[in-house]
Amino acid sequence: MNRRGFLQLISATAAAALTASCNRINSVAGTSPGPARLVRFPEKTEMILLTDRPPQLETPLHYFRQDLTPNEAFFVRWHLEGIPTSVDLRTFRLNVSGHVRQPLQLSVDELRSQFEPNSIVAVNQCSGNSRSFFEPRVPGGQWKHGAVGNAKWTGVSVKSILDRAQVKSGAVDVAFNGLDAPPLSSVADFVKALSIDHARDGEVMIAYAMNDQALPMVNGFPLRLVVPGWYGTYWVKALSDITVLPRAFSNFWTDKAYRIPKAANGTESPKDLAKDTVPINRFNVRSIFVRPGPDETVHSGIANEIEGVAFDSGHGIRRVEVSTDGGATWADARLDAEIGKYSWRRWRASWTPSSRGQYRLMARATNAIGETQSKQQWNRSGFMWNVIQETDVSVE
């Protein structure tokens, strides 16, 4: 930024702040909020604001009418206040250390030039996506269905990096840390781990590009771990340190947080909380209505296009059924061609309501091994929502 640009910025800020700021903060705690608050963060388009510090931004659903979610609209979720806001590629290094014979310090240029690049289209979804639909409600990021996105990730496999680092025998886990930092020394740094076999499966990768562009800072510039089919908590942003461990990894974010009941589909009862829990892991099967959107008018007597997306952890979506009568009858939706096993699959159906009135639409996805969506589901953390979605539509 040059001096003139900075002064323009500051003067614009000052003018706006002085003339209007005291009465333009329109959300006062304790009052009912209006519609979703849209904000624009650096390198991002208008997104639904959950929190500003650290940022949690949700993607407006209409972006899911595209196969790939644009970088500027891709959801954002950080845990710790100290998020990176500046990265100097001359000094940034990805450090690989621990239980290896050859520790590495790699620049982004070296990652690009010295390793075989590969690309994968994969869904990234927050563990708490759709949390606000659980009843009874649970504390946490109150996401609707937009803490998810589908992107083409390009980078290098973690396997190729670990191979160069020459992992010693007896390795158990691999820990991944990013540039974000806790606000207090008592808060655990956000570090996640995968088993050595998972990390070396050739699919887990370090992405330096997202949809063929550099990642936005708030999506993890310059490097982000990509763990296809697994929840976003493992997709460490601004990845800076890989540590191979000869023992099981242990920290707050794995031992206490991001755990699900061991029972099927991570479900438990509010009256009888599960005692056995496991770290959250693979996506379950789900679909999301994308159209009709909340503001769209549906007309009787003509064909209306219904559409959505469906995905799972990599087995592949084989069927999506749609009901327009509250679940009494179901019809198969048309599936778009598969993009890749970890991509979502878009689906469409044509609906011609015969008369005006209220209708309840439902969508239910099934994957290649017969797994389908839940009728009922609850857990204390609000994770892994995959209840068959219902959307009420008024036909005119």
Partner 1 sequence: MGAKNKSPILALGLAALIAGCGRLSNVAKEPDHDITNARTEAMPDSKPDNPVHAIMMPHDEPMFPPGPGRQEFVTECVVCHSPRYVTMQPRFSRATWLGEVNKMKNVYGAHVSEEQVQKITDYLVSINGQLDTGQAPKGTYGE
Exactly one of 123, 174, 196, 218 binds partner 1 (CB under 8 A); that residue is: 218
Estimate to the nearest angstrom the gap between the alpha carbon of 227 and the chain centroid.
11
The reply on whether position 169 binds partner 1 by CB under 8 A is no
List the x/- string, 121-150, binding to partner 1 by CB under 8 A: -----------x----x-x-xx--------
Q: Which of 103, 170, 183, 301 binds partner 1 (CB under 8 A)?
A: 183
- Nearest residue (CB) to partner 1, 81 versus 338: 81
The owner of tokens 């083409």 is 152
Residue closer to partner 1 (CB basis): 85 or 169: 85
Question: How many C-beta atoms surround the C-beta of residue 307 within 10 A?
Answer: 20
Nearest to 239 by CA among 255, 227, 221: 221
The binder of partner 1 chosen from 149, 155, 222, 266 (CB under 8 A)? 222
Note whether 122 and 203 are within 8 A (CB). Answer: no
Q: Least Å distance between CB 37 and partner 1?
A: 7
Q: Which of 10, 273, 278, 331 binds partner 1 (CB under 8 A)?
A: 10
C-beta of 86 vs 376, nearer to partner 1: 86
Looking at beta carbons only, is 341 or 380 nearer to partner 1? 380
Q: Where are the alpha helices (DSSP H) in 239-287?
A: 252-255
Print burial letters for 74-101: b (CB count within 10 Å at least 16), e (below 16). bbbbbbbeebbeebeeeebebebebbbe
Task: Tell me how far apart the alpha carbons of residues 324 and 294 are, in angstroms, rounded to a whole number.
Answer: 16
Q: Coil, helix or strand for 108?
A: helix
Cβ 191 to partner 1 shortest distance, Å: 15
Binding mask 81-120 for partner 1 (x = CB under 8 A): x-x-xxxxxx------------------------------
Instruction: Give the CA distances from residue 35 to residues 27, 38, 280, 389, in Å, rounded to whole numbers and listed in that order.
Output: 11, 9, 32, 21
* DSSP H or E run through 98: strand 94-98
The correct pick among 110, 114, 239, 256 for binding partner 1 (CB under 8 A) is: 256
CA 27 to chain centre: 27
Q: How many CA atoms lie within 13 A of 9 on its CB side?
A: 6
Between 53 and 101, name the residue whose CB sits nearer to partner 1: 53
- Beta pairing, strands 317-323 & 331-332: antiparallel
Residues numbered 20-59 forming contacts with partner 1, rule: CB under 8 A: 20-22, 24-30, 32-33, 37-43, 46, 49-55
Q: Judged by CB under 8 A, which of 184, 264, 328, 337 binds partner 1?
A: 184
* 18 is a site residue for partner 1 (CB under 8 A): yes
Nearer to partner 1, 55 or 314 (CB): 55
3-state secondary structure of 61: helix
Binding site for partner 1 (CB under 8 A): 1, 3, 5-14, 16-18, 20-22, 24-30, 32-33, 37-43, 46, 49-55, 81, 83, 85-90, 132, 137, 139, 141-142, 183-187, 214, 217-218, 221-222, 252, 256
